[in-house]
Structure 1
Amino acid sequence: MARVEREEVLFRGSRCTLVRAHVTCRDGQLRPHDFLSVADAVGVIAWLDDGQLVLVRQLRPAIGRALIELPAGHLEPGESALETARRELVEETGFTASAWRPLTVFYPSCGKLSERMHLYEARGLIAGTARPEPNEDIEVVTASLPEALRLARAGEIADSKTLLALMIASGAPLEAVAGDAAS
C-alpha cells in the first residue's frame, strides 16, 4: 500500500495552500503528488415551509460561469461545522433556521483537495437580511425539489455538494439527478 512520507508547502495563498506530498508507491519509488489544502466547508439544504428550496446563484471564477447551488462556505478557525452552516445561511440568504439536521460528510474532490464538506438540512426558516462578503455577488433563488432536479439535469446545478444534497432529499439514483450534466 502506498504511503505519504512527508509533505512540503509549495505556495500559501489567502484561501488555499499548494502542498507536495512525497508518496512511496507499491513499487518502492518515491513520487510527488500535489494537492490543495483548504479549510473544511459546509453546504446547507434549506427548506421553506411551502417546500421550496433556498438556493443561491453565484459566479464561480474557477469554471468561468455562474452556478445555482446550496448556500455554503468554509469553516473559520475555531468554528464548528454547524456554526459555519448557520453563519453561511444568514450571510448568503438572510434566513435563519430553527431546526438543523446533519446529513453527511464527504470529500468533494479527494484526489486534489484535502477539503471535507459537511451537509446540513435547515428547516423552520425565518427571513432576514443577507450579509454577503464584499467579494460575493449572490442572487437568492427558490425552487421546488422537482425544479431543482430539472436544473441539475440541465447543468445549471452542477457542483458536487448540491447534487449530493438533492440525491439525499429525493432518494433518486445518481443518474436521475446528474442526467445530462454528467456527460
Structure 2
Amino acid sequence: MAEQWREQRLHTQRIYTGRAVALDVDRIRLPNGRETTREIVRHPGSVVIIPVLDEERVLLIRQFRYAVGEVLWEFPAGTLDRAAESAEACAHRELEEETGYRAGRLIRLGEFFTAPGFTDERMHVFQAEDLRPAAQQLDSDELIEVVPLTWESVYEKVRAGEIRDGKTLAALYLYALRRRA
C-alpha cells in the first residue's frame, strides 16, 4: 500500500460484541494530519460455496433475509467459527448444513472484501464438486429451500435482476473467469 495513503489508528473503543461481529470506533490520524473516527464492523471471515451438481446444474438456496426484508436467491455461505476454523473447513461444514450435500472436492476460486468501507470481512469463494447426499442440518434460526437450477436459468435470473445477493454475484463472476481460463 502506498504509505502516503495510510491512516494511523490512535485509539480503539469496542462498543459492541455479538455472536458473529463486533463494532469498533477507531480514532485515526489521516495522512494530512487531521483526526477523525471510523466505525468498523469486525468479522471473522466467511465463505460462499458454488455447489456444482454436474455440467448443466448447480444448487442455489432461497431464504428470507431480515436485513433487507426479502427472500433472496443465494449460494450457500456462512461465517468462520471464531475458534480459528479454516475457510475450507467452514465451506465443507456450511455446504452440508445448508444444502444436505457433502463435497468430494473443493476448489478455491478466490476471495474478496465484502464492504471494505465499514467492515474487515474477507469472503472466501469455493466451487464444490463430486456432491453426495448428506443430512441437512440447519441452525435453529434458518429456513432454507435448496433448489437445483440449470446454469442457463441461473444466468437468466441474473439478467432479470432476480439474483441480487452480492456474494452470489461475485462468486458467479469468479466461477465464469475460471471456466474461461
Report the TM-score when normalising by structure 2.
0.89
Instruction: Give 1:123's aligned residue.
Output: 129
Give the corresponding residue for 2:174.
Answer: 168
Of the candidates 85, 99, 119, which is equivalent to residue 91 of structure 2? 85
Q: Secondary structure of the equivalent of 1:168? A: helix
Say whether the 8 Å CA contact 2:100–2:134 is kept in structure 1.
Answer: yes
Tell me the matched-pair count.
172
Alignment of 1:150 with 2:150, yes or no, is: no
The equivalent residue for 2:47 is 42
Residue 154 of structure 1 and its aligned partner are, at CA, apart by 2.6
Q: Alpha carbon RMSD of aligned pairs, Å? A: 1.6
SS of 2:97's partner is helix
The alpha-carbon deviation at position 129 of structure 1 amounts to 2.1
Q: What are the superposed Cα offsets for residues 51-92 of structure 1, whole Å, 9 maximum, x if unpaired?
A: 311111111111111111111000112211000000000000
Measure, in 1, the Cα distance between the counterparts of 2:14 and 2:41.
10
Structure 2 partner of 1:137: 143
Match in the other structure for 1:105: 111
Q: CA deviation at 1:50?
A: 4.8
Is residue 26 of structure 2 the alignment partner of residue 21 of structure 1?
yes
- Quick check: 2:109–2:175 contact (8 Å CA) kept in 1? no
The Cα of 1:169 is off from its aligned counterpart by: 2.4
Is it true that 1:53 corresponds to 2:58 in the alignment? yes
1:3 aligns with 2:19: no
Q: Mean Cα displacement is larger for which, 22-31 or 68-77?
A: 22-31
Deviation at 1:150, TM superposition (A): 1.7
Cα shift at 1:11: 1.5
For the 8 Å contact 1:43–1:73, the answer to whether it is kept is: yes
Farther-moved stretch of structure 1 (29-38 vs 142-151) = 142-151
CA distance in 1 between counterparts of 2:57 and 2:133 reads: 14
- Distance, in Å, in 2 between the alignment partners of 1:83 and 1:45 is 15
- Please report the TM-score for the alignment, with normalisation by the length of structure 1: 0.88
User: How far is 1:170 from its partner?
Assistant: 2.6
* Uncovered stretches (5+) of structure 1, i.e. residues with no partner: 173-183
Contact 1:7 1:22 in 2 (8 A): yes
- Residue 137 of structure 1 aligns with an amino acid whose one-letter code is L
Deviates more, 1:143-152 or 1:32-41: 143-152
Q: Which structure 2 segments of 5+ residues have no match?
A: none
Say whether the 8 Å CA contact 1:149–1:166 is kept in structure 2.
no
What's the % identity of the aligned pairs? 33
